Amino acid sequence: MTLLQCGAHKVDLTRAAIMGILNVTPDSFSDGGAHADPVSAVARARQMMEEGVSIIDVGGESTRPGAQAVSVQEELDRVIPVVERIAKEIPVPISVDTSKPEVMRASIIAGAGLINDVYALRAPGALEAVAAFDVPICLTHMQGEPRTMQIEPHYTDVVAEVADFLAIRVKAAQAAGIARCRFIIDPGFGFGKTLEHNIALLRSLKVLGMLGLPVMAGLSRKSMIGKTLGLPIEQRLHASVALALIAVQNGARIVRVHDVAPTVQAVRMWEAIEADRRV
Ligand code: 8Y7
């Protein structure tokens, strides 16, 4: 059994954990602005808890392709009041989606129990910031940077290259003093990847599992659905649930999603059937 100790909360990864996305940005990829103020953010967090969420991922900087960077102060102003209120009012572990060491530090002090860094602690000072605490850290693969990453991504062997990158980042983080039991790894669907790269990674997700660490997958509403089905963001619910389930079937232990209730139902149903398997 794998237990992730997320600050005051434990997350049991025997069952797949459903991470609910809570964007507190005015410009996010798929729900921009809806939960930018702390009161509506907390209301949404409470709703996700009622829907069976395992972890709530608060993000104050949009990482969508082409998004603008925000200042440290702006990100702190967006994220910290929300983390403080959720930590006080709602008994669910909080993750903070950030690459900035100042935001990592302040978030953990405010009550966050996990750091989700799509830069995999490559920002100056990020390794040290996380090493100073004892919360889990999700390391994600990204080729390039958000502003330009979708311009002609290229790999010789995407699965091997993503696995190598993650192994190197885990090593760097361990060298900085972060214990192995704290890592989560994520192939970073859509982060400098074409549809074909994303498909190859999802099919071979078990290869990443061979690193011996819990795997996270974020596929919710992403462009691979738009490219495959020709659907706009607001019509990607059903395919998002299907992709989350495929990720869990291929070994993902955490799925990061916008639509908590349908994903919880799909994943728990599959797990109930798996638990009953005779062969
Ligand atoms: C991911 C993520 C985003 C992901 C992890 C979006 C912050 C883009 N995607 N974090 N964040 N994995 N760990 O479409 O795939 O949600 S932002």
**Using one digit for the tens of pLDDT, what is the confidence trace for 22-38?**
999 886 556 656 787 89
For 179-204, the pLDDT digits (tens) are 999 999 999 999 999 999 999 999 99
CA 279 to ligand 1 center in whole angstroms: 35
Mutational pocket test of ligand 1: of 140, 216, 240, 255, the residue with most ligand atoms within 8 Å of the beta carbon: 140
pLDDT of residue 109: 98
Cα end-to-end distance, the chain, whole Å? 21
In order of their start, the domains of the chain are: 3-278 (3.20.20.20)
Taking residues 97-103, what's their average pLDDT?
97
Q: Check if 218 has its Cβ closer than 6 Å to any atom of ligand 1.
A: yes
pLDDT bracket for residue 147 (50, 70, 90): confident
Task: Supply the pTM of this predicted model.
Answer: 0.96
User: Which amino acid does the sequence have at 71?
Assistant: S
pLDDT of residue 46: 98
Contact assessment for residue 114 and residue 134, using Cβ atoms and an 8 Å cutoff: no
CA 188 to ligand 1 center in whole angstroms: 7
222 part of the active site? yes
Mean pLDDT of the chain: 94
What Cα–Cα distance (Å) separates residue 48 from each residue in 45, 51, 56, 60, 93?
5, 5, 8, 18, 12
The yes-or-no verdict on residue 117 having pLDDT over 90 is: yes
Task: Choose, from 221, 222, 236, 253, the residue flagged as catalytic.
Answer: 222
pLDDT of residue 35: 82
pLDDT of residue 18: 98
Write the residue with the smallest CA distance to atom 12 of ligand 1. 218
- What percent of the chain is modeled with pLDDT above 70? 95
Q: Which atom of ligand 1 is nearest to the CA of 222?
A: 14
Taking residues 128-152, what's their average pLDDT?
92
Q: Check if 140 has its Cβ closer than 6 Å to any atom of ligand 1.
A: yes
Dist. CA 241–CA 200, nearest whole Å: 19
CA 277 to ligand 1 center in whole angstroms: 33
Dist. CA 143–CA 151, nearest whole Å: 10
Residues 6 or more apart in contact with residue 254 via CB below 8 angstroms: 13, 16, 17, 18, 19, 54, 55, 138, 184, 214, 215, 216, 217
147 part of the active site? no
pLDDT bracket for residue 67 (50, 70, 90): confident
Q: Which atom of ligand 1 is nearest to the CA of 64?
A: 8
The yes-or-no verdict on residue 58 having pLDDT over 60 is: yes
CA 98 to ligand 1 center in whole angstroms: 10
The yes-or-no verdict on residue 142 having pLDDT over 60 is: yes
Dist. CA 188–CA 140, nearest whole Å: 5
Taking residues 204-220, what's their average pLDDT?
97
**DSSP character string of the chain:** --EEEETTEEEETTSPEEEEEEE--SS-TTTTTTT-SHHHHHHHHHHHHHTT-SEEEEESS--STTPPP--HHHHHHHHHHHHHHHHHH--S-EEEE---HHHHHHHHHHT--EEEETTTT-STTHHHHHHTS---EEEE--SS-TTTTTSS---SSHHHHHHHHHHHHHHHHHHTT--GGGEEEE--TTSS--HHHHHHHHHTHHHHHTTSS-BEEE-TT-HHHHHHH---GGG-HHHHHHHHHHHHHTT-SEEEES-HHHHHHHHHHHHHHHHT---
**Cβ-count burial of 275 within 10 angstroms (0-12 exposed, 13-18 middle, 19+ buried)?**
exposed
pLDDT bracket for residue 152 (50, 70, 90): confident
Per-residue burial over 65-78, b if 16 or more Cβ lie within 10 Å, else e, is bebeebeeeebbeb
pLDDT bracket for residue 55 (50, 70, 90): very high
